Amino acid sequence: MNIIVTGGAGFIGSNFVFHMLEKHPDYRIICLDKLTYAGNLSTLKSVMDNPNFRFVKLDICDREGVYKLFEEEHPDMVVNFAAESHVDRSIKDPSVFLQTNIIGTSVLMDACREYGIKRYHQVSTDEVYGDLPLDRPDLFFTETTPIHTSSPYSSSKAGADLLVMAYHRTFGLPVTISRCSNNYGPYHFPEKLIPLMIVNCLHDKPLPVYGEGLNVRDWLYVEDHCRAIDLIIHNGTVGEVYNVGGHNEMKNIDIVKLICHELGKPESLITYVQDRKGHDMRYAIDPTKIHNELGWLPETKFADGIKKTISWYLENREWWEEIISGDYQTYYERMYGQS
């Protein structure tokens, strides 16, 4: 089985690459990644010499390059993680989100139509459902919840999902979509809540909490997400959407306080800052479908996952210090002598 994994130098994509190489030692994994600010080739250091792994620096919007890669590799499947993923950046500048998240998705699917494919899997997000009110803990996102987006990021992801379903209906492309809640774990880029708070705590820097910190997110350990995608691409039904989440809702402020506590830092580091524009209040996934149809259940409890994650950031300072200093962006040139 040849699988193209796009965005595999990012947070979830890299964890998926590791998962697949370990769980399916007979598969060939081709990682296609543009190496934007969020992509870090040093993350993939441990698999670069694996004969079943190939890294290709490429933009998913580059039609010629993508088609050439399909001609070379004859992939059986494509799993598309490549995206601009940070809501705050999408509020500052939506355009690259539309380009990568929507146009890039269409280029990948055109290549799948041109060369044939067993499965195209789109890694989507619970944010396409918009948000839920804080005073209705009985409500959850199911796969039939209407798309109702808030940010340019979530709108671009929703646009991509609509295109994916359209390519299935119009062209018969064998697609699946997963919509997952907030992930956390190793290699999470330190602009997102959990790694940002860990790194700032370690530098005794202020911990910027938006608004009153009452927004709720449904956290899932990244390896549980990777297992869910592995199950969907092998056993999921073509044309279907699967929600992925672990019923682990937490207020932002409680997460930040927990991180302070775990690292022995004072809560006085917490600084309330201006709220995010259009800030979604609550995300909460109903994962009944993936549980009933594919037998998926999360394995890592938040109490254990957050400890593992904090330990990882303590043991891998070099990884995030290079990001903060910007040095990681020269890693590719240093390794491969080209840009």
* Binder of residue 287, out of ligand NAD, ligand TDX, none (CB less than 5 to 8 A by kind): none
- Tell me how far, at minimum, the Cβ of 157 lies from ligand TDX, in Å: 7
* Binder of residue 309, out of ligand TDX, ligand NAD, none (CB less than 5 to 8 A by kind): none
CA distance linking residue 302 with residue 308, whole number of Å: 10
In the bound state with ligand TDX, the residue whose beta carbon lies nearer, of 111 and 310, is: 310
Catalytic residue among 127, 223, 224, 280: 127
125 binds ligand NAD (CB under 6 A): yes
DSSP annotation of 282 reads B
Range 12-71, binding ligand NAD (CB under 6 A): 12-13, 33-36, 38-39, 59-61
63 binds ligand TDX (CB under 6 A): no
Task: Judge whether 115 counts as a catalytic residue.
Answer: no
The alpha carbon torsion through 278, 159, 73, 30 (nearest 10 deg) reads 10
- What lies within 8 Å, CB to CB, of 238 at 6+ separation is 119, 168, 174, 175, 176
Q: Using CB under 6 A, pick the residue from 36, 125, 178, 300 that binds ligand TDX.
A: 125
CA distance linking residue 109 with residue 161, whole number of Å: 12
Task: Judge whether 126 counts as a catalytic residue.
Answer: yes
154 binds ligand NAD (CB under 6 A): no
Strands (E) in 143-301, as ranges, are 175-180, 183-184, 207-210, 216-218, 220-221, 241-244, 249-251, 270-273
Tell me whether residue 1 is exposed, middle or buried, using C-beta atoms within 10 angstroms of its C-beta: 0 to 12, 13 to 18, 19 or more: middle
In the bound state with ligand NAD, the residue whose beta carbon lies nearer, of 11 and 320, is: 11
Instruction: Tokens 């080209």: give the residue.
Output: 338
Range 169-198, binding ligand TDX (CB under 6 A): 182, 192-193, 196
Rounded to the nearest 10 degrees, what angle do helices 302-315 and 193-202 cross at?
50
259 binds ligand TDX (CB under 6 A): no
Range 181-200, binding ligand NAD (CB under 6 A): 182-183, 189
Q: Using CB under 6 A, pick the residue from 3, 42, 78, 85 that binds ligand NAD.
A: 85
Contact 177, 119 (CB under 8 A): no
Rounded to the nearest 10 degrees, what angle do helices 252-263 and 193-202 cross at?
30
Rounded to 5 degrees, what are φ and ψ at 123? Answer: -90, 105
Catalytic residue among 126, 131, 161, 249: 126
Give the residue numbers annotated as catalytic, written as ranges: 126-127, 153
Q: Which residues bind ligand TDX (CB under 6 A)?
A: 85-87, 125, 127, 182, 192-193, 196, 208-210, 215, 217, 252, 276
Q: Which residues bind ligand NAD (CB under 6 A)?
A: 6-7, 9-13, 33-36, 38-39, 59-61, 81-85, 100, 104, 123, 125, 157, 180, 182-183, 189
